[in-house]
Structure 1
Amino acid sequence: MKLLLLLPIWGFGFSLFSALIEARPEPLISSISGPVLSPESKPISPISATMEAFSPGMQEYIVEEHQDLDKKMLIALIVACTALGAIILSLFGFWIYRQSNSRNCGPKRTQSSGPILGKFNSLRMIGKKGSVSGIEYHLIEAATNNFRESNILGEGGFGCVYKARFDDNFIAAVKRLDNGGQDVEREFENEVDLLSKIRHPNIVSLMGYCIHGDSRFLVYELMQNGSVETQLHGPSNGSALSWHVRMKIALDAARGLEYLHEHCNPPVIHRDIKSSNILLDSNFNAKLSDFGLAVTSGAQNKNNIKLSGTLGYVAPEYLLDGKLTDKSDVYAFGVVLLELLMGRKPVEKMAPAQCQSIVTWAMPQLTDRSKLPNIVDPVIRNTMDLKHLYQVAAVAVLCVQPEPSYRPLITDVLHSLTPLVPVGLGGTLRVTEPAPPADPKPSDH
């Protein structure tokens, strides 16, 4: 490519040089230039002798004029060659710059890039596309204490998530993806591409990435309370999640999904909504995470989009026919809503070779007001207004309808949940605190 770029320049230089040579003036009278070229030779022509005798200064004048022309031509040639050299060097430098930029334009070709300027300050570039920076591997290794087992926050399909302390004031979560082949590479690039463009309070922030050998690393903001899955099905069994907090989590997740479906251009289908991908910060604000399987609207029917998802959350039409729309995310959201409501896992073993989904088990009871209170998670049973419980159950039933056209848009879900969440938690519900009991009147005796 470099040679092709320079060929026209060399052609131009050669043409210029040839033109200058051809423009060189020939001697005016051959007999006059003879003595100049060979001082020892004698003029043999009578005419020459006569001219020399008639005008003895003429020969020296013509020789000096000819030498001046030679000097001017030489200077012009030097100037032209210098300009040509400068042009060639400039174009060569530009070519090197373009090559360097093309190598650094995407994570796939970068081994590990860029120090963290000012301890992650350079990564906090809100609102800019492509604002996620590369992070050097040794910084990640040191922050996770060489990926110490005690720093593991959780495990996924392709690797572990580690707690990483980059300095005393900044702690993050590092997801490590190892040796997953093309699937890992594709999901890694997809996540970096999408989360570098998305900024929303209910979508987890990607702070940086690193490529080191066969390993891929994603650095996220730390979510101190883990995932909805660990809160509901972990050691605490949901004890930290009150009714109002659960409704806040559902509302936050719906807001994140609405942003993906309605405000991204093109719209984004998450494709892997589940309780383990809804993370909770120190105030139980919920944020959607794990965008490795996400697709933009219009790309979901391409042949290279293979069937993916998690058992129990995958919509029937996607599982059976491969039909993927935003209503597939709504179905998965409905399953998460049932988890929050009942405290049960999306799929539970009934026998060694038999499983039952939460949708199949709960559907008959969700529509029966006499049975509904009995299937609510015991941690929150009898702690909510029954009218609110019926409304949440109705939303969940609509979300998990087998026919996609019967499911609501996530915007409709959002409007239904907002009045059930207290104002202090991001909704519009005004909770009236019960009046404290009146002090008994002091005794007269």
Structure 2
Amino acid sequence: MLFSQNASKIIFLLLLYYSFSRLLNIVGADPPYPLCSNHSRYADNSSFHHSLNNLFYSLSSNSSVSKFYNTYAGNNLDRVYGLYMCFGNTTIEVCNSCISTASQDILKHCPNRKEAIIWEEHCQLRYSNTNFFSTLDIIGNQAQRNSMNILEPERRRFKDALNITLSRAVKDAVYDPSPDMYAAKKVRYLKSETLYAQVQCTGDLLANDCNTCLQIAINNASSCCNSSLGARIYSKSCYLRYEVYDFDGGAFEEIQMTAKNSKWKIWVTMIFVVSAFLAVTLLGSFVYCLKMKIVSHRGKTKIRWEDIISQEVPLHNIADPNGSEFLYQNFKAGDEQKAMEFPYIDLASIHAATDNFSESNMLGQGGFGPVYKGKLSDGTEIAVKRLSSCSHQGSEEFTNEVLLIMKLQHKNLVRLLGFCVDGEEKLLVYEYMPNGSLDVSLFDSTKCAQLNWSRRLSIINGIAKGMLYLHEDSRLKIIHRDLKASNILLDSNMDPKISDFGMARIVEGSEGEASTCRLVGTYGYMAPEYAMEGLYSVKSDVFSFGVLLLEIITGKRNAGFHDQSKLSHSLLSYAWQLWNEGKAVELMDPSVAESCCPDEFIKCVYLGLMCVQEDACERPTMSAIMLMLEGGTESSTLRQPDRPAFSWGISNEYDQINIDSLSFDRLTGSSDIKANE
């Protein structure tokens, strides 16, 4: 009997130890720390496997320019979402190396899993077959503790310092206006001892969710590492670490720890009160200035559309988290003329049109929410873009798209039929495009056959006309900033329509150049000056157009392209190399070989390479591009394109141009043309 009781106790203690060690991922072990899902697996060499490889390539490539990035690869059931985050003050070089290592380790530790995450020493990498962007996830938090324990005489002082440091770090990470959701603090808690703390959230997380994640991480640290001099908490959505040594190369802001905690609380309270007073004052000033631009209309206050067009009320002042409320108030109850040209569609009508957003009507999943097919009561077929309620960035882009596209009318721009704002629901209603997006047809081995050469030329011309309208012919100079194959929709006649104006911007002046601290867009289509310096202009769109043109004529994606025989790691470098060897025709998509005119193909390759020149000044304008496509400019010779931007892996023997200038007769059989502006 006694033996049985002792055995039961031993088994219970073993089970308890196993559970606790599993929770802490066996505390003190070295990275990496993988967390693999057991729900579903993929087969080797499957479409999902191919999408995952493309995703890793995209993430690894972006880690050479950014310390956080999220994207997806593949289509429909084979789509995979992924992100990475590099910790703290990690350099770009270390970040890039860490993501490359993580891409290999995650496959080794979680083979054939459709969902996994891995934490390395300096970064984390995560992927899933379901969209987890902007979603808080604290399941499976991993903890690691410093093996050194706090000495009893120092315990009280250490705990006070830890509370102060983590509290300040979380506050700065969550509420500081900088977009990286990161903070690092240090405080001297003894004469010769300093505590260092660092917190960070993934860049797609909302502020409130970031705060929740970090508070839970603090609780995890308190539970697992209460007597330890240091701890790390790895979460899917955030990261926390504290130590009694500088573990991040001096990137810590020093804060003061007073003798009495009560004094510190008084100062915090005073700072909070003063900050709140300043915030209220600034808000009041903003409201007063905005009110001066408001006019009375039928007993209701309205911001005039004319003021927005003339930029007396800049779009960036409207496209904020409350921008959808502006739309609701100013256009739902607008005058009859405004309602006729741009109707507000009520939520009940959209529910009826989409069968309450039935899964059977889902067309796909966009970056900020799903898209549904529907039919209005008058028989009009529509596509409804439903923005995710948890996406702050999506709210801004929702408002931006409505206000921009409201006055843009062109046959090669997708038509926005209306919008709806109702509680948490934010919906955009477009004309339905029965042939979907260009990437679906272009990069599918069977569907690409319907895109013969004449159809591809027609699509290129249509896209160019739409971009020319945005840059030069509309009332406003518009930079799209996210021109890519998936944002080109095809109507019933396979005619192209440019879509998704959520990231578009109005620019002023003849140069049309602006800058930003927040990069938006898609890797593989970004111009170098935008990716590296945040500078964007009409020439940034020209770069994207050049990438898209080369993709259309070759049937190959720029992102994820690799040719071992030519040592080329992008479509741009491969095209430029073949151009220099006089073998540009080898780029031709085999599915158009019978219908393609070689001279027309060579001209398109040349035009694509000119559009992706590293120096923005060397790229043609959209008007020059249209002239080249139509064959209406005369010149004696064609200037040879230089090495394009982001042309990795090309050997030095091709550094110099090695073919003679080609005449326009060689390309088109007519007069000559010079591509430079």
Shared fold (TM-score greater than 0.5)?
A: yes
Residue by residue, what CA displacement relative to the aligned partner does 1:69-103 show, whole Å, maximum 9, x if unpaired? xxxxxxxxxxxxxxxxxxxxxxxxx9894446569
| Cα deviation digits, residues 22-47 of structure 1 (max 9, x gap) | xxxxxxxxxxxxxxxxxxxxxxxxxx
Match in the other structure for 2:396? 186
Q: CA shift at 1:179, angstroms?
A: 2.1
Contact 1:334–1:397 at 8 Å: present in 2 too? yes
Kept in 2: contact 1:225–1:279 (CA 8 A) = yes
AA paired with 1:137?
A: L
Question: C-alpha displacement at 1:357, in angstroms?
Answer: 2.6
TM-score (norm 1): 0.65
Larger radius of gyration: 1
Provide the identity percentage: 36
Residue number among 533, 540, 552 corresponding to 1:321 in the alignment:
533
Q: 1:243 aligns with which of 437, 440, 453?
A: 453
* Amino acid in structure 2 at the alignment position of 1:318: Y
Q: Partners of 1:227 and 1:376 in 2: how far apart?
A: 21
For residues 52-201 of structure 1, the aligned pairs below 5 Å read: 97-99=298-300, 101=302, 107-109=324-326, 131-167=341-377, 169-201=379-411
Per residue, is there more strand in 1 or in 2? 2
**Residues 285/122 of structure 1: CA separation in 2 closer, same or farther (3 Å cut):** farther
1:342 to 554, 557, 580: 554
Query: 1:224–1:235: structure 2 CA closer, same or farther, 3 Å change rule?
Result: farther
1:358 aligned to 2:571?
A: yes
Aligned partner of 1:260: which letter? Answer: L
Contact kept, 8 Å, 1:103 with 1:110, in 2: the verdict is no
Helix, strand or coil for the counterpart of 1:201? coil
Instruction: Using the TM superposition, give the Cα deviation of residue 416 of structure 1 relative to its aligned residue in structure 2, in angstroms.
Output: 1.4
CA spacing shift, 1:300–1:148, aligned 2, 3 Å: farther
Residue of structure 2 equivalent to 1:391: 603
Work out the CA distance in 1 between the residues paired with 2:425 and 2:513: 27
CA contact (8 A) 1:347 1:355 kept: no
Query: By how many angstroms is 1:186 displaced?
Result: 1.1
Residue in 2 aligned with 1:293? 503
Specify the alignment match of 2:672 in structure 1: none
Residue equivalent to 1:373: 585
User: Is 1:228 the equivalent of 2:477?
Assistant: no
Matched residue SS, 2:604: helix
Report Cα offsets for 1:195-252 as digits up to 9, x if no partner: 1111011111110000122231100111111111111123634111010100000000
2:542 match: 330
For the residue of structure 2 that corresponds to 1:207, the secondary structure is: strand
Paired residues of 1:348 and 1:355 also in contact (CA < 8 A): no
Structure with the larger RCO, 1 or 2 (CA within 8 Å, 6+ apart): 1
- The within-5 A match list for 1:423-434 is none
In the alignment, residue 372 of structure 1 is paired with which amino acid? A
Paired with 1:355 and 1:145, the residues of 2 have a C-alpha distance of 48
CA–CA separation in structure 1 for the residues paired with 2:395 and 2:352? 24
Bigger fraction of residues in helix: 1
Match of 2:162 in 1: none
| Counterpart contact for 1:331–1:399, Cα < 8 Å | yes
| Deviation at residue 380 of structure 1 after TM alignment | 0.5
Q: CA offset at residue 108 of structure 1? A: 2.1
SS at match of 2:560: strand
Equivalents in 2 of 1:386, 1:95: separation in Å? 63
Is residue 202–residue 252 contact of structure 1 (8 Å, CA) maintained in 2?
yes
Q: Is the 8 A contact 2:296 2:302 kept in 1?
A: no
C-alpha deviation, 1:155, in angstroms: 1.7
Distance 1:268 1:249 in 2: 21
Q: SS of the residue aligned with 1:301?
A: strand
Q: 1: CA distance between counterparts of 2:348 and 2:382?
A: 15
One-letter code of the match for 2:471?
A: H
Return the alpha-carbon distance in structure 2 between the equivalents of residues 135 and 356 of structure 1: 47
Amino acid at match of 1:313: Y
The aligned amino acid for 1:139 is S
The residue matched to 2:608 in structure 1 has which SS?
helix
CA positional deviation for 1:415: 1.3
Q: Higher mean Cα deviation, 288-297 or 176-185?
A: 176-185
Deviations 1:323-366 (A, max 9, x none): 11100000000111111111011211659xx9933212322113
| Separation (CA, whole Å) in 1 of partners of 2:553 and 2:297 | 60
Going from structure 1 to structure 2, the CA distance change for 1:95 and 1:295 (only over 3 Å counts) comes to closer
What is the alpha-carbon distance in structure 1 between the residues aligned to residue 296 and residue 338 of structure 2? 29
Alignment correspondent of 1:74: none
Contact 1:278 1:288 (C-alpha < 8 Å) held by counterparts: yes
> C-alpha offsets along residues 360-406 of structure 1, whole Å, 9 cap, x if unaligned?
2322113443x222221110024222111111111011011111111
The root-mean-square deviation of aligned C-alpha atoms, in Å, is 3.2
1:15 aligned residue: none
CA contact (8 A) 2:368 2:391 kept: no
The match for 1:405 among 617, 620, 630 is: 617
Number of residue-to-residue matches in the alignment? 316
Letter in 1 for 2:604: V
**Which residue in the other structure is 2:260 paired with?**
none
Separation in structure 2 between the aligned mates of residue 321 and residue 261 of structure 1, nearest angstrom: 22
Q: For 1:218 and 1:355, how far apart are their aligned partners in 2?
A: 41
Shift of 1:170: 1.0
Give a deviation string over 1:149-196, Cα, whole Å, max 9, x none: 121222211111111111363111111111244311110111000111
SS in structure 1 at match of 2:450: coil
Q: Is the alpha carbon distance of 1:267 and 1:177 closer, same or farther for their aligned partners in structure 2, counting shifts above 3 Å?
A: same
* CA distance, structure 2, for counterparts of residue 407 and residue 102 of structure 1: 39
Given the two structures, how large is their TM-score scaled by the length of structure 2?
A: 0.43
Whole-angstrom distance in 1 between the partners of 2:444 and 2:471: 31
Amino acid at match of 1:328: S
**CA shift in 2, pair 1:301/1:387, >3 Å:** closer
Contact 1:342 1:376 in 2 (8 A): yes
| 1:208 partner letter | G
2:282 matched to which residue of 1? Answer: none
Q: CA 1:355–1:386 in structure 2 vs 1: closer, same or farther (change >3 Å)? A: closer
Q: Is the 8 A contact 1:373 1:381 kept in 2?
A: no
